[in-house]
Amino acid sequence: MSQPVIPFNELQKKLRSFKLSGMVDSLEIRLKEAGEDQISYSEFLGLLLEDFDFTFQPSIKKQEILEFATCHFLEKKANIVFIGQPGTGKIHLSVALSLQALGRGRTVLFTTVWDMINTLQQSRADYSYQKKIQTFLKPDLLILDELGYRSMAESTVEDFFEIVSKRYEKGLIIITSNRQIHQWDSVFVDKTLTTAVVDRLIYFLITPKKCTKLFSV
């Protein structure tokens, strides 16, 4: 069954909630151009990926990204990890894919790793932990930005693992990171915890039906 298409004003609200007002401006310009060219709204959403300069990042295969833009990865529960230094396009690609999901009526939550961790840590103090966890489990797609910019203490790694582990059964994740997978030991500190996180996020999903895709940008 086809998913309902989200209205443009709802896309605007979502982007503003992501604190990405610049993308809202781009969206409005693109929509105007789409109207002038008489293309469909669904085709318009695909144009947002065309804004990405694939020639600037030849390591990213355009056809692969466009395939993900069909949102088949949502059905396959295929996680995506974008790895690269600041300014290489990780956020652009993540947001473009999230718009594809939103445009098909899917729910999306965009947050930084540390905003999520801080929310969960604070919820322990007022005994709302289980309720807050649901915030990050309910969306069809969870986008976690900035993994690797700070190291995590054991308690924060456990919170991160809790989300990754439970979303294995609930929905998928797009993660952006400035560190290669083999450098995640310095993020999660404890090697055992690192292995547990990577296993849940990546290795357990490499099957014909569930496959994590890593992109270096």
* Short-list 84, 135, 201, CA closest to 193: 201
Interatomic CA distance for residues 16 and 13, integer angstroms: 5
The pLDDT of residue 70: 76
Provide the token pair at 27: 């969206």
Provide the token pair at 106: 């899917």
The set of residues, in sequence order, having a beta carbon less than 8 Å from that of 37 and lying 6+ positions away, is none
pLDDT in tens, 149-172: 899 988 898 899 999 988 876 678
Q: What is the largest CA-CA distance in the chain?
A: 56
Helix axes of 113-125 and 154-170: crossing angle, nearest 10 degrees: 110
Interatomic CA distance for residues 179 and 187, integer angstroms: 9
Neighbours of 7 (CB within 10 A): 11
The pLDDT of residue 209: 39
Please name the residue that has the structure tokens 């652009």: 92
Classify domain 8-216 by CATH number. 3.40.50.300
pLDDT in tens, 117-135: 999 999 999 999 999 999 9
| Cα 67 → chain centroid | 16
Where the chain has pLDDT below 50, the residues are: 1-4, 21, 203-211
Three-state SS at 19: coil
The pLDDT of residue 163: 93
The pLDDT of residue 160: 93
DSSP label of 190: S
Provide the token pair at 94: 């993540």
**CA 149, 19, 43: angle at the middle one, nearest 5?**
110
The pLDDT of residue 2: 41
Domain boundaries of the chain, sorted by first residue: 8-216
The pLDDT of residue 92: 78
Pairing relation of β-strands 172-177 and 108-112?
unpaired
The pLDDT of residue 46: 56
Strands (E), the chain: 80-83, 108-112, 141-147, 172-177, 213-216
Three-state SS at 14: helix
pTM tops 0.85: no
Interatomic CA distance for residues 119 and 99, integer angstroms: 25
Q: Give Cα separations from 183 to 189, 199, 202, 203 (angstroms).
A: 10, 15, 15, 16
